[in-house]
Amino acid sequence: MLSYFYWNPKKEIFTIPYLNIPIVWYSLLFLIGFVIGYYIVISILRRYFYLFENFTDKDIFSFDILKGDLKNPKTESQKKVSEFFFEKTKNESILDSNVKILDLLNEYIDGKIKNRLFLENTFPKAIISTKSKLTKIVDTVIVYIVIATIIGARIGHLIFYESPAYYLRNPINIIKIWQGGLASHGAAVAILIALFLFCHYYLKKITPKLRYVHLLDLVSVPIALVCFFIRVGNFFNQEIIGVQTNLPWAVVFGSPMENVTILPRHPVQLYEGLFYLLLFGLLLFLSYRKYFLIKEGKMFGIFLILANGFRFFIEFLKVKQSAILETDSFLLMGQYLSIPFIVLGVFVLFWDKIKSFFLKNI
């Protein structure tokens, strides 16, 4: 007689006294993923920015303060830089040109120190530090991503997986995301839109070195990790469960959120979560390779193709989740939604070759 793993944990860890707000495993795992992702993005961005040592006008907080420090240096480090500036010309009018100042700062990096950190520390009141810039970028982009993930995932679930009639009768349930009901494809669309707005309205004011597709490359690494934590959260919620199986690692879900018979089933949440964890490891490894860090669209394209490609095939082991598709549909909603993301991934990954092909044949 086969023995299966019985799984029926409480979804809530505890309830906040007086407020009566439940703290659930799903939300905690979601939060852990984003906290870890925050530091991963900072680490990747730091490596990315250090590939581009040269200063631009966006790196200078105040040219007036910088000019003052060069004319009247207060520290030994400032004296060394000041001497270098005035070795190039005896005419102090050189400091009247911001462009010339940038050129000489970059020349000092190339010829003297090979690292911009020295100049950042030498003129802390005039030059924006890389650390400060990274923190400002990541603090803001995380807010964009978290809001986009929650709103997009919820809207995606309501559109693709639920009957509108139910929420018209129970509108308050729309905001009860702790009870489950978040669609990853809806989150993906919302994140793409949010990051575009972030780049257009915020990022270009801080640095011209990081563009939209490059940002997608960098955030795809921690997003893969967040996907792992979300699937573990789905396992605690007993949602997105698999079809029946007799395999020895089958799980009997005691309180499945789907209206299904309690039988041994594939723990597809763990299958998918483990794949996302491996994908995170691959992308993190690639982020240490200069080619993938510089080439636009490579890591993002790999993420889209592998994540959605695996999602397409693993859906065959899931029970039907969408209340919209007909029961005799060969594919599930998750598979239909994965196809355009796979196509987008191929397009982004090979964009340089596609562009080169059309330029040669036009």
Question: pLDDT above 90 covers what percent of the chain?
Answer: 40
Confidence of residue 163 (pLDDT cuts 50, 70, 90): low
User: Cα 78–80–86 angle (5° rounding)?
Assistant: 100
Q: Is 220 exposed, middle or buried (0-12, 13-18, 19+ CB in 10 A)?
A: buried
Helix (H) or strand (E) holding 265: strand 264-265
User: Cα 59–61–67 angle (5° rounding)?
Assistant: 105
Which pLDDT belongs to residue 89?
A: 66
Pick from 137-141, 225-229, 272-276: least confident: 137-141
Tell me: pLDDT of 130 over 90: no
Tell me: pLDDT of 110 over 60: yes
pLDDT digits (tens, 9 = 90+) for 218-264: 999 999 999 999 999 999 999 889 999 999 999 999 999 888 889 99
Sign of CA dihedral 49, 211, 31, 18: positive
Nearest to 163 by CA among 91, 228, 259, 235: 259
75: its two tokens: 């520290």
Tell me: pLDDT of 306 over 80: yes
β-bridge pairing 5-7 and 251-253: parallel
Mean pLDDT, residues 105-124 taken together: 82
Confidence of residue 313 (pLDDT cuts 50, 70, 90): very high
Cβ partners under 8 Å of residue 205, min gap 6? 58
Would you say 126 and 60 are in contact if contact means Cβ atoms under 8 Å apart? yes
- Count other Cβ atoms within 10 Å, centred on residue 306: 19
Confidence of residue 113 (pLDDT cuts 50, 70, 90): low
Give whichever of 20-24, 222-226, 332-336 has the largest mean pLDDT.
222-226
Strand partners, 244: 265
Give whichever of 39-53, 250-264, 269-283, 309-323 has the largest mean pLDDT.
269-283
**Mean pLDDT value across the chain:** 85
Tell me: pLDDT of 165 over 80: no
DSSP secondary structure of 115-144: -THHHHHHSTTTB--HHHHHHHHHHHHHHH
Which pLDDT belongs to residue 326?
A: 53
| Residue, of 272 and 182, whose pLDDT is higher | 272
Would you say 251 and 229 are in contact if contact means Cβ atoms under 8 Å apart? no
| Residue, of 357 and 193, whose pLDDT is higher | 193
Which pLDDT belongs to residue 184?
A: 77
Which pLDDT belongs to residue 33?
A: 92
Which pLDDT belongs to residue 1?
A: 44
Which pLDDT belongs to residue 243?
A: 93
Pick from 22-31, 33-42, 200-209, 240-249: least confident: 200-209
Tell me: pLDDT of 214 over 80: yes
